[in-house]
A and B are shown apart, each in its own frame.
Chain A
């Protein structure tokens, strides 16, 4: 049996240190943006959150594919935790994005910004993951259908970005292009540290939740072995696999 708790403490410490360093860099080291001033610093939170959330969705899709290949329940739980954490990060992206849009463009929501709009569509799709799971009672079928959804939705993420980007003019500050972008060196350093911090936070939370779920399952199995099947109340229907 996999122990997800191994290395969790070190990882948690590394996360706290990296995020503290990143915040210190954001507030005391990163230069003020010439156009937007202080508000631009939300960039160091907004963009890493967005990248991590999108990677989390695709990661969840890959784990779902592993479930479909192997049929082992643990892959479905991993996929569930990956998507559910990415959803939480995604809410953060939409909130910070709206705040940034209000401060720099004067509106809470800007339709002409393809990246924000694509992200909203991705969120609308993944927001149906939990209702879908919740409305399937049979455990095996829930895992299988949720994995099919995760695979399809994971492939949807890049396609959606292509389609929405083609639909709109470039308004979003495109600081991260494949050609290396136009971010000054000091800003890039701060951005990379922030991205690392947020990514570490995601991995830590993922491992933490997996450890918790795993322990709960082991406790249930032990109780059932000790007290018999009837003594352990059956699980209520839920969206979460367990």
Chain B
């Protein structure tokens, strides 16, 4: 029973996305924390590994783990404002497609991750990475972009599940990490040859294909089940 004048899915999603980005821009709550967290993690890795520069698979692993944990901060906070300030109820009352919330939140998370990487990846190149970043950037960006889609989609799904549980700070990471593992394996293994000293700078096609497959499957799956997480 949809009203003809009700806004379409994309218009709703873009409106919610705009709200989230404005909120972040004015409050500066999540993204600065994610960036600081990533920088501190680089310092920890420097001392933990006892090395000034790293390259190849080790560098890819350090970068993947750092970005994952920084992303977890964003994932945990994604729906907190909706829950605490009645955003969920307002959204359910509006005559709009519910999946728009999934799309909007996933896009918001994607923007957060892009901003995080805009600062964290150059910082990684400066602080830890042995070989120069310049020529390796296109390959790295391709792998990270595909990885970000997986993080955004699965992160939004898990965050929507976790926000209604009692121990939401625990449920989010423990459900999210295993679900993200195959994508993280693909990011780390795909970025490894890119960051190698004598690498060609191109990520291996196999990993790019697996990441893309993972993104598509989970995007469709989240789209299919998201409605049930909002029903009330």
**Chain A interface (Cβ within 8 Å of chain B)?**
68, 121-122, 124-125, 128, 131-132, 135-137, 141, 144-145, 147-149, 151-153, 155-156, 159-160, 162-164, 166-167
Contacts and interface: CB of A to CB of B under 8 A. Distances in A.
B210 A163 contact: yes
Nearest to A163: B182
Contacts, number: 86
Contacts of A122: 178
Contact of A128 (B175, B218, B231): B175
B164 A145 contact: yes
Contacts of B167: 131, 135
B166 A125 contact: no
Q: Which secondary structure dominates chain B's binding surface?
A: helix
Contacts of B53: none
Given A132-B161, A132-B171, A144-B231, A163 B166 contact: no
Interface string B160-198: 010011111011001101110111011001000000000
A162 B124 CA distance: 30
Contacts of A137: 166
Interface stretch (B110-118, B127-135, B221-229): B221-229
A121 B178 contact: yes
B189 A155 contact: no
A147 B228 contact: yes
Which of B175, B214, B229: most chain A Cβ within 10 A? B175
Contact of A159 (B170, B182, B229, B231): B182
Which of A121, A153, A162, A166: most chain B Cβ within 10 A? A166
B217 A155 contact: yes
Chain B interface bracket (under 10, 10 to 19, 20 to 34, 35 or more)? 35 or more
B55 to A, nearest CB: 20
Nearest to A162: B210
Contacts of B221: 151-152, 155
25 contacts: A68-B225, A68-B228, A122-B178, A124-B177, A128-B171, A128-B175, A131-B174, A135-B166, A135-B171, A136-B166, A144-B229, A144-B231, A145-B161, A145-B164, A147-B228, A152-B218, A153-B179, A156-B179, A159-B182, A159-B213, A159-B217, A163-B183, A164-B185, A166-B206, A167-B185
Given A132-B171, A166-B206, A167-B189, A149 B182 contact: no
Contact of A164 (B157, B182, B229): B182
A125 B175 contact: yes
Interface of B: 157, 161, 164-168, 170-171, 174-175, 177-179, 181-183, 185-186, 189, 206-207, 210, 213-214, 217-218, 221-222, 224-225, 228-229, 231-232
A153 B182 CA distance: 13
B160 to A, nearest CB: 9
Contacts of B166: 135-137
Given A141-B164, A152-B221, A163 B179 contact: no
B225 A152 contact: yes
A137 B157 CA distance: 20
Given A121-B182, A124-B181, 16 more contacts: A68-B225, A125-B179, A131-B167, A131-B170, A131-B174, A135-B171, A136-B166, A144-B229, A148-B229, A149-B161, A152-B218, A153-B179, A155-B217, A163-B185, A163-B210, A163-B214
Contacts of A149: 161, 175
Contacts of B179: 125, 152-153, 156
A152 B182 CA distance: 14
B174 A145 contact: no
Given A131-B171, A135-B165, A148 B182 contact: no
Contacts of A141: 164, 232
A152 B228 CA distance: 13
